[in-house]
Amino acid sequence: MKIASYNVNGIRAAVKKGFLEWLEASNADVVCLQETKAQEDQIPILDFAALGYKTYAFSAKKKGYSGVAILSKIEADKVVKGIGIEKYDNEGRFIRADFGPLSIVSVYHPSGSSGDLRQDFKMQWLDDFQQYVLQLIKERPELVISGDYNICHEAIDIHDPKRNAKSSGFLPEEREWMSTFLNKGFVDTFRYLNTEPNHYSWWSYRANARANNKGWRIDYHMISKNLLPRLKAAYIQPDTYQSDHCPIFVELDS
């Protein structure tokens, strides 16, 4: 099973930049999207259907903001939208699809870069999200949690760790949260298989950052540890340009 995750920074804008062509070429079984920035009736589900994908979407109440979706060539047995906490679910940050015993989540963690209020919101979300997932894994032990975590875990995951030491997304408390989350029974699939530096999934639009590969690795496929024997590959596709992020992939034995 090939699973992709992609923060598209607006699905309608991404489609105009070649997203459908990318989707067809990707040959992914499941695609987790973040930051769709569209209401459910604005998502081009007929275009996705023409390529063989069913669309499961969860949009923010606010138009043109946030939103997650799962595109799948396999029909889901069950789809769950949100984590049951209104202030988060109003922002459309979590959707889960079950395929037999396997559950796949598309998640969009908040950014705290706009100021202290949103950073506080992010830290509270991280705690509540972790509690939710630790309950969920008791019911659905085979978990893939894919998406934009808005956190670089280690210095290797960011182009300039010293200058960004006080930047949202690389704060000590965020990195500590990530370590704790992984220690609760999850695996960062890319870093498990790849120990080389200079692999990123997001680049600022400023200062020619992408051309110079001055990026951040903030997008992840996390899997429950019991799926490790099925992990075949995990990789990043940096030469895809529909967004300021790029797609990431994980492959599991079916």
Query: How many other C-beta atoms lie within 10 A of the C-beta of residue 73?
Result: 15
Residue 84: Cβ within 10 Å count: 11
Q: What is the pLDDT of residue 71?
A: 98
Q: Which residue has the tokens 């799926």?
A: 227
Q: If DSSP states are collapsed to H, E and C, what string results for 25-69?
A: HHCCCEEEEECCCCCHHHCCHHHHHHCCCEEEEECCCCCCCCCEE
Residue 148 is a catalytic residue: yes
* 3-state DSSP assignment of residue 252: strand
- One-letter amino acid at 1 equals M
Q: Where are the beta strands (DSSP E) in the chain?
A: 2-7, 30-34, 54-58, 68-72, 78-81, 94-99, 102-108, 142-148, 186-188, 202-203, 215-216, 219-224, 231-236, 248-252
Tell me the C-alpha distance between 89 and 193, whole Å: 33
Every domain of the chain and the residues it spans: 2-252
Question: Coil, strand, or helix at residue 130?
Answer: helix
Q: Which amino acid, residue 164?
A: N
| pLDDT tens digits in sequence order for the chain, 254 residues long | 999 999 999 999 999 999 999 999 999 999 999 999 999 999 999 999 999 999 999 999 999 999 999 999 999 999 999 999 999 999 999 999 999 999 999 999 999 998 999 999 999 999 999 999 999 999 999 999 999 999 999 999 999 999 999 999 999 999 999 999 999 999 999 999 999 999 999 999 999 999 999 999 999 999 999 999 999 999 999 999 999 999 999 999 98
pLDDT, residue 254, reads 83
CATH no., domain 2-252: 3.60.10.10
The answer to whether the Cα torsion of 217, 223, 224, 225 is positive or negative is negative
Of residues 148, 157, 188, 219, which has the active-site annotation? 148
Q: How many residues in the chain?
A: 254
**pTM for the predicted model, two decimal places:** 0.98
Measure the CA–CA gap between 47 and 85, rounded to whole angstroms. 32
